[in-house]
């Protein structure tokens, strides 16, 4: 078998790390992103080939590795080809769980074959290596079980509502302390006591599970970003165990990427990261004020009314939310926009950072429906435009337009940056019912004179509007 | 990598410190690179970071190599399973990212 020198291998791993940085750099604009993705693929290919050549594989090893790559590769390629774009949040959650599980498996393998991983000294595993390995295993396990729950919630296998265990903070603190004690014991044992690693993994799987179940559906953008970050830190910890530069650098890149996304999502909701992670948001607020809200009069409209108003407008801003994804209405919305443009109406889109179930969710759906990305604007770029807009067409969004965020300091969403749709001359709300949004609070906008409610399924309503245009 | 080859002012530096330095630098690189990603591409960003974090397959391949050379059977099979899981992620992650990025188009003039 050909053998690479360790130095040459380290150089090649550095090359692949540079390619990964370029892959992320490419995402600064859609034009450069496709080339960036190709760099990423080359980077991972270099890392795999280098490892095959430097690990001292024998024939059996090659066969097993190739079989694993082929098996996983075929499954991955089929999933990537078949998955509908609306299912992207749960796909990403599922992929995170796989990275977490792979990290756990690598940590276990290193624990049981320490000499081959170069972490053995005088018959015992070095304490530092056990710390890295233990951290990698714990973070990997939390990523795995947390992502499985996130997947189940996003995929609808589990209710999106927060599940609140009594004394859950106490249980989590106890588990966290238990994990710290087990890692210390692991380091002291020198890897001779096998039960410790299994106990450690069990505790970590459990805490990952308990951390995510109290978090509700609309907080998922933060959770998915956070798990993204964790998968990076797990990779980095194992990179130290293996002394592998590519793994250390990738771990740092992915870890900071996920952390930044979590920060952006929290800021877009004006909530602290801690309050999101502690969970339970919106669980009880909905029940308390549901009594009196139906009494206030709302103006309901039909598809014909909406079509008439928009046709006679000069500027329409479409505000999509999670309801658009649920109703799969993105293609219908684009057709409606095309019909309006033909009638001479200026149509653009406004996207709130936390619209949907993951960062950038709405942008991908609109791109899928062939909406050009230069017609899609972020909150800070378009918010001043609402004042000179005739119609704000809100479809499947609610809390991100609620003026209570600005006017009511007691509101659960107080201080959250919102899209100023109330400044538009007319607001059209496509919604299935008058029920409050995720935060469980009533939206004052529904009852204003210049608001018309279009109560129906989003896709059906848009299709009827197209017919009337 | 030999620890003795990394020197600082005439004294040998332990590989751990050297790796830690690279780790910290990479966090900074990640910080600046990710802030420059346009919000419209945050979903592809998550998909691609997911694909590249599967570079942990490096550890999985070492585990397979160690296992079949007479190491623990646990290594062989944990390694094999991890190789397959990472491969799902690598192929799935990069291909789905490619599919998403292909959809982002400019206005046809």
Chain mean pLDDT for chain A = 89
pLDDT tens column, A444-457: 888 888 899 998 88
Contact A34, B102 (CB under 8 A): yes
Mean pLDDT of A20-39: 95
Cα distance between residue A110 and residue A129, in whole Å: 10
**pLDDT classification of B109: cutoffs 50, 70, 90:** low
Strands A426-431 and A451-455: parallel
- Establish if A236 touches chain B: CB-CB under 8 angstroms: yes
- Establish if A1 touches chain B: CB-CB under 8 angstroms: no
Cα distance between residue A83 and residue A74, in whole Å: 14
Shortest Cα–Cα distance, A289 to chain B (Å):
35
Q: What is the pLDDT of residue A186?
A: 93
* Window 349-388 of A, Cβ < 8 Å to B: 351, 353, 358-361, 363-364, 367-368, 370, 372-376, 378
All residues of chain B having their beta carbon less than 8 Å from the beta carbon of residue A254 are 30, 49-50, 52-53
All residues of chain A having their beta carbon less than 8 Å from the beta carbon of residue B32 are none
* Residue environment code for A70-86, b if the CB has 16+ CB neighbours within 10 A, otherwise e: ebbbebbbebbeebebb
Please determine, for residue A56, whether its predicted confidence score (pLDDT) is greater than 50. Answer: yes
Mean pLDDT of A307-323: 93
- Establish if A247 touches chain B: CB-CB under 8 angstroms: yes
Q: Note whether B29 contacts A43, CB cutoff 8 Å.
A: no
CA proximity to B51, closest of B88, B89, B100: B89
Shortest Cα–Cα distance, A61 to chain B (Å):
5
All residues of chain A having their beta carbon less than 8 Å from the beta carbon of residue B69 are 56, 58, 61, 116
- Establish if A46 touches chain B: CB-CB under 8 angstroms: no
Q: Which residues of A are catalytic?
A: 399
- Establish if A306 touches chain B: CB-CB under 8 angstroms: no
Q: Note whether A260 contacts B60, CB cutoff 8 Å.
A: no
**pLDDT classification of A292: cutoffs 50, 70, 90:** very low
Q: Note whether A80 contacts B99, CB cutoff 8 Å.
A: yes
Please determine, for residue B7, whether its predicted confidence score (pLDDT) is greater than 70. Answer: no
* Window 118-147 of A, Cβ < 8 Å to B: 128
pLDDT tens column, A349-370: 999 998 888 889 999 999 999 9
Shortest Cα–Cα distance, A220 to chain B (Å):
13
All residues of chain B having their beta carbon less than 8 Å from the beta carbon of residue A41 are 94
**pLDDT classification of B2: cutoffs 50, 70, 90:** very low
Q: Note whether B84 contacts A72, CB cutoff 8 Å.
A: yes
Q: Note whether B33 contacts A245, CB cutoff 8 Å.
A: no
Q: Kindly report the three-state secondary structure assignment for every residue of B28-96.
A: HHHHHHHHCCCHHHHHHHHHHHHHHHHHHHHHHHHHHHHHHCCCCHHHHHHHHHHHHHHHHHHHHHHHH
Cα distance between residue A180 and residue B88, in whole Å: 32
DSSP 8-state code for residue A117: T
User: Which among A35, A91, A96, A102 is the top mutation candidate for probing chain B, defined by the most B β-carbons within 10 Å of its own β-carbon?
Assistant: A102
Beta strands in chain B (DSSP E): 7-8, 11-12
Contact B96, B88 (CB under 8 A): no
Share of chain A above pLDDT 70, in %: 95
Q: Note whether B62 contacts A92, CB cutoff 8 Å.
A: no
Closest residue to A364, CB basis, from B51, B60, B100: B100
Q: Note whether B44 contacts A364, CB cutoff 8 Å.
A: yes
Cα A333 to Cα A278, A329, A337, A426, A458, distances in angstroms: 37, 6, 6, 18, 9
Closest Cα in chain B to A19: B52
Q: What is the pLDDT of residue A92?
A: 95
As given in the structure block, the two tokens for residue A255 are: 């870890």
pLDDT tens column, A374-406: 999 999 999 999 999 999 999 988 888 888 888
**pLDDT classification of A288: cutoffs 50, 70, 90:** very low
pLDDT tens column, A329-350: 999 999 999 999 999 999 999 9
Contact A13, A244 (CB under 8 A): yes
- Establish if A112 touches chain B: CB-CB under 8 angstroms: yes
All residues of chain B having their beta carbon less than 8 Å from the beta carbon of residue A25 are 33, 36
- Establish if B3 touches chain A: CB-CB under 8 angstroms: no
- Establish if B13 touches chain A: CB-CB under 8 angstroms: no
Report residue B76 CA to chain centroid gap. 21
Closest residue to A372, CB basis, from B38, B47, B106: B106
CA proximity to A140, closest of B72, B15, B86, B13: B86
Please determine, for residue B1, whether its predicted confidence score (pLDDT) is greater than 50. Answer: no
Q: Give me the residues paired with residue A377 across strands.
A: A350
CA proximity to A39, closest of A21, A57, A66: A21
pTM for this one? 0.90
Q: Note whether A27 contacts B41, CB cutoff 8 Å.
A: yes
Closest residue to A68, CB basis, from B42, B49, B87: B87
Q: What is the pLDDT of residue A284?
A: 42
């Amino acid at each position: 078998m050909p053998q690479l020198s360790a130095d040459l291998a380290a150089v090649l791993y550095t090359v692949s790390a540079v390619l990964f940085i370029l892959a992320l750099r490419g995402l600064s604009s859609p034009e450069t992103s496709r080339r960036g993705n190709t760099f990423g693929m080359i980077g991972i290919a270099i890392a795999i080939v280098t490892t095959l050549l430097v690990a001292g594989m024998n024939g059996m090893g090659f066969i097993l590795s190739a079989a694993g790559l082929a098996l996983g590769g075929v499954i991955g390629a089929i999933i990537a080809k078949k998955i509908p774009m609306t299912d992207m949040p749960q796909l990403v959650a599922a992929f995170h769980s796989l990275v977490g599980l792979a990290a756990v498996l690598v940590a276990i393998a290193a624990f049981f074959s320490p000499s081959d991983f170069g972490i053995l000294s005088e018959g015992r595993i070095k304490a530092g290596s056990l710390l890295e390995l233990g951290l990698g295993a714990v973070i990997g396990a939390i990523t795995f079980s947390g992502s499985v729950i996130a997947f189940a919630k996003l995929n609808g296998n589990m209710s999106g509502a927060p599940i609140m265990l009594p004394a859950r903070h106490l249980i989590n603190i106890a588990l966290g302390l238990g994990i710290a004690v087990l890692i210390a014991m692991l380091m002291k044992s020198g890897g001779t006591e096998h039960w410790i690693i299994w106990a450690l993994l069990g505790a970590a799987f459990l805490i990952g599970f308990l951390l995510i179940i109290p978090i509700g559906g609309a907080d998922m953008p933060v959770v998915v970003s956070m798990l993204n970050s964790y998968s990076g830190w797990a990779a980095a910890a194992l990179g130290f165990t293996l002394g592998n530069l590519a793994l250390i650098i990738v771990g740092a890149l992915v870890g900071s990427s996920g952390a930044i996304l979590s920060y952006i999502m929290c800021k877009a909701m004006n909530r602290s990261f801690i309050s999101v992670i502690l969970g339970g948001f919106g669980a009880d607020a909905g029940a308390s004020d549901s009594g009196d809200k139906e009494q206030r009069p709302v103006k309901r409209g039909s598809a014909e009314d909406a079509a008439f108003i928009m046709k006679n407008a000069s500027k329409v801003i479409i505000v999509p939310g999670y309801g658009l994804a649920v109703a799969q209405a993105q293609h219908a919305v684009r057709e409606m926009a095309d019909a309006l443009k033909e009638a001479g109406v200026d149509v653009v889109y406004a996207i709130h950072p936390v619209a949907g179930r993951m960062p950038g969710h709405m942008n991908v759906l609109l791109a899928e429906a062939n909406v050009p990305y230069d017609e899609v604007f972020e909150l800070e770029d378009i918010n001043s435009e609402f004042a000179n807009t005739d119609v704000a067409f809100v479809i499947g969004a609610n809390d991100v337009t609620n003026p209570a965020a600005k006017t009511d300091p007691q509101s659960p969403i107080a201080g959250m940056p919102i899209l100023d749709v109330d400044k538009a001359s007319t607001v059209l709300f496509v919604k299935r019912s008058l029920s409050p949004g995720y935060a469980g609070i009533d939206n004052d906008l529904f009852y204003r004179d210049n608001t018309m409610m279009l109560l129906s399924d989003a896709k059906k309503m848009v299709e009827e509007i197209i017919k009337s245009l | 990598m030999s620890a003795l080859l990394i020197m600082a002012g005439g004294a040998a530096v332990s590989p751990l410190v050297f790796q830690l330095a690279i780790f910290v630098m990479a966090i900074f690189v990640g910080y600046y690179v990710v802030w420059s990603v346009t919000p419209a591409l945050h979903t592809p960003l998550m998909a691609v970071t997911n694909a590249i974090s599967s570079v942990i397959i490096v550890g999985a391949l070492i585990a397979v190599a160690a296992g079949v050379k007479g190491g623990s059977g646990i290594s062989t099979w944990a390694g094999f399973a991890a190789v397959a899981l990472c491969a799902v992620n690598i192929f799935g992650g990069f291909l789905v990212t490619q599919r998403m990025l292909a959809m982002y188009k400019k206005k046809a003039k």
